């Protein structure tokens, strides 16, 4: 039976996902690399090295022109790593039919023995849609489409036959669908939504997701100042109250885009001169460059504002930053907890 979206939307999460609960009393770190290194074996070895150093998660971008498909990358990592979480930062709901997205996500979760975090987004680069031959709907349509995808994923993963006629999402073709081999993660695959929009994005985080991700760049929420961050957390808390869920059931994650580390200030200045100037200028406030000690102070300040988890973007080829993060920064956060707002 085909039903309207309101009838098939899952309820807001009632509890706290175990991955979220694991970081309630400590600070965690994840890594993404953009663009993905073209040498697949080197890329896999890099992520294995992150795993050995205590990095909690690896996040794959969904920009198919940037060397690799995110689901191909996560599939390779699922069978070549053992403990590191694997996530999308973030999967664009318009790049694949909803059924295919459900299949790929379930497959990666099963192959990794339940380590997937599914980050979802509506896409923002019109030129990328155009190159792929995909229509670029207006923002409100894409935002409604995101809610439809939640309904479809939950329906397909329920283990029961499921049918749904889409209202605004072109990939939501009528069912019935099923039976469907679901993910193995218990109690479910956690969802992450990125951005800091206070009217829609943070509302959707409270309604559907287990993690909120934002950062200083306009494309990731424009959470620059202390006032920006605390205001957005207050708004998120309000939306959680609206949907009757605990504020601490949402993991508050921060995105650094990019992180550049060097052992000394002199080495850092020399390193920055070798990096793409246009990328560094574009990053603006979202860029953090410093020594490991300066990075420790930076992330401690953000943890003091309420962030619990940090995802850092590493530019391709900057393996030094990965090494310094794992050996010089992450160990300093053993036993350090974020501050929960009163």
**% pLDDT > 90, the chain:** 83
Q: What phi and psi, each to the nearest 5 degrees, are found at residue 86?
A: -125, 125
pLDDT at 29: 98
Residues near 124 by beta carbon (within 8 Å), at least 6 away in sequence: 219
Q: Does residue 342 sit within a domain?
A: no
pLDDT at 1: 40
Q: Does residue 340 sit within a domain?
A: no
Question: What span, in angstroms and rounded, lies between the C-alpha atoms of 219 and 125?
Answer: 10
| 2 pLDDT above the threshold of 50 | no
Burial of 323 (0-12, 13-18, 19+ CB in 10 A): middle
Instruction: Please say whether the beta carbons of 169 and 151 come within 8 A.
Output: no
> Which parts of the chain fold into alpha helices (H)?
5-8, 18-21, 40-53, 70-78, 98-111, 126-131, 139-156, 201-208, 226-242, 265-273, 277-283, 292-305, 319-324
Q: Does residue 101 sit within a domain?
A: yes
Within 10 angstroms of residue 253's Cβ, the number of other Cβ atoms is: 26
What is the pLDDT of the chain when averaged over all its residues? 92
182-216 pLDDT, tens per residue? 999 999 999 999 999 999 999 999 999 999 999 99
Instruction: Please say whether the beta carbons of 307 and 30 come within 8 A.
Output: no
| 20 pLDDT above the threshold of 50 | yes
120-146 pLDDT, tens per residue? 999 999 999 999 999 999 999 999 999
Tell me which DSSP letter residue 162 carries: B
| 113 pLDDT above the threshold of 60 | yes
In three-state secondary structure terms, 290 is: strand
In three-state secondary structure terms, 189 is: coil
**Pairwise pLDDT comparison (149 vs 5), residue with the higher score:** 149
pLDDT at 123: 95
Residue 175: band (very low, low, confident or very high) from pLDDT cuts 50, 70, 90 = low
Strand partners of residue 213: 194, 253
Domain count across the chain:
1
| 15 pLDDT above the threshold of 50 | yes
Q: Does residue 163 sit within a domain?
A: yes
Domain extent, residue 237, equals 5-333
pLDDT at 11: 83
Residue 166: band (very low, low, confident or very high) from pLDDT cuts 50, 70, 90 = low
Residue 90: band (very low, low, confident or very high) from pLDDT cuts 50, 70, 90 = very high
pLDDT at 169: 57
Q: Does residue 311 sit within a domain?
A: yes
Q: What is the CATH number of the domain that holds 248?
A: 3.20.20.30
Question: What span, in angstroms and rounded, lies between the C-alpha atoms of 311 and 32?
Answer: 7
Q: Does residue 339 sit within a domain?
A: no
Instruction: Please say whether the beta carbons of 208 and 189 come within 8 A.
Output: no
Q: Does residue 127 sit within a domain?
A: yes
| 263 pLDDT above the threshold of 90 | yes
pLDDT at 176: 67
48-84 pLDDT, tens per residue? 999 999 999 999 999 998 899 999 999 999 999 999 9
pTM: 0.95
Alpha-carbon distance values, 303 to 53, 54, 172, 193, 293 (Å): 21, 18, 39, 19, 15
Q: Does residue 341 sit within a domain?
A: no
Within 10 angstroms of residue 293's Cβ, the number of other Cβ atoms is: 12
């Amino acid at each position: 039976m085909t039903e309207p979206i309101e009838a098939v939307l899952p309820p807001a999460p009632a509890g706290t996902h175990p991955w979220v609960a694991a970081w309630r009393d400590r600070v965690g770190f994840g890594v993404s690399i953009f663009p993905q290194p073209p040498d697949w074996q080197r890329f896999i070895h890099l992520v294995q090295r992150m795993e050995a150093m205590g990095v909690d998660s690896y996040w794959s971008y969904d920009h198919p022109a940037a060397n690799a498909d995110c689901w191909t990358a996560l599939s390779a990592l699922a069978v070549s790593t053992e403990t590191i979480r694997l996530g999308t930062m973030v999967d664009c709901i318009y790049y694949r039919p909803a059924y295919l997205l459900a299949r790929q996500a379930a497959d990666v979760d099963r192959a990794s023995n339940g380590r997937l975090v599914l980050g979802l987004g509506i896409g923002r680069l019109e030129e990328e849609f155009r190159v792929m031959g995909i229509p670029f709907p207006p923002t409100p349509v894409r935002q409604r489409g995101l809610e439809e995808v939640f309904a479809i994923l939950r329906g397909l993963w329920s283990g029961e036959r499921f049918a749904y006629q889409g209202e605004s999402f072109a990939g939501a073709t009528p069912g019935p669908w099923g039976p469907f081999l679901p993910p193995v993660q218990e109690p479910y695959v956690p969802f992450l939504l990125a951005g800091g929009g206070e009217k829609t994005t943070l509302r959707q985080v409270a309604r559907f997701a287990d993690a909120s991700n934002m950062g200083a760049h306009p494309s990731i929420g424009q959470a620059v100042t202390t006032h920006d961050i605390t205001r957005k957390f207050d708004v998120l808390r309000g939306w959680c109250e609206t949907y009757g869920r605990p504020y601490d059931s949402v993991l508050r994650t921060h995105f650094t885009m990019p992180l550049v580390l060097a052992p000394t200030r002199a080495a850092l200045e020399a390193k920055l001169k070798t990096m793409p100037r246009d990328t560094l200028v574009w990053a603006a406030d979202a860029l953090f460059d410093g020594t490991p000690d300066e990075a420790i102070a930076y992330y401690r300040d953000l943890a003091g504002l309420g962030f619990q988890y940090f995802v850092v973007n590493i530019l391709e080829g900057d393996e030094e930053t990965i090494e310094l993060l794992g050996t010089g920064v992450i160990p300093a956060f053993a036993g350090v907890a974020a501050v929960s707002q009163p």
